[in-house]
């Protein structure tokens, strides 16, 4: 799952629109749409602001949750950081 997909899921779970999230963090709805659809990489400060509004951690947005990792493993794909963990051991 990508950062944009995680943001979309967290936003939908929180129950607000793209426009409302964008307004709360001080960007346009078009910019928020670009972030969610991987057409733009948000600055770290925006990720922090998004997490604060949605009541989650930046880690949850950036790398996901253990449940997500389990889903990735059962679908045959690996999280992006799997090789980093493997090489650091």
Indicate the domain borders of the chain. 3-63
CA distance 4 to 15: 16
Q: pTM for this structure?
A: 0.72
CA distance 84 to 49: 27
Could you tell me if 36 and 4 are in contact, meaning their C-beta atoms sit under 8 angstroms apart?
yes
CATH topology of domain 3-63: 434 Repressor (Amino-terminal Domain) (1.10.260)
Reply yes or no on whether the pLDDT at 87 is more than 70.
no
Instruction: Give the tens place of pLDDT for each residue, 1-43.
Output: 899 999 999 999 999 999 999 999 999 999 999 999 988 889 9
Q: Which residues does 65 contact at the CB level (< 8 Å), separation at least 6?
A: none
């Amino acid at each position: 799952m990508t950062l944009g997909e995680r943001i979309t899921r967290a936003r939908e779970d929180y129950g607000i629109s793209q426009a409302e999230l964008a307004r709360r963090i001080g960007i346009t709805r078009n910019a928020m749409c670009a972030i969610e659809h991987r057409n733009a990489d948000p600055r770290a400060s925006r990720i922090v602001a998004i997490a604060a509004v949605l009541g989650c951690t930046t880690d949850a947005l950036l790398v996901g949750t253990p449940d997500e990792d389990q889903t990735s493993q059962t679908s045959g794909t690996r999280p992006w950081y799997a090789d980093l963990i493997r090489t650091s051991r």
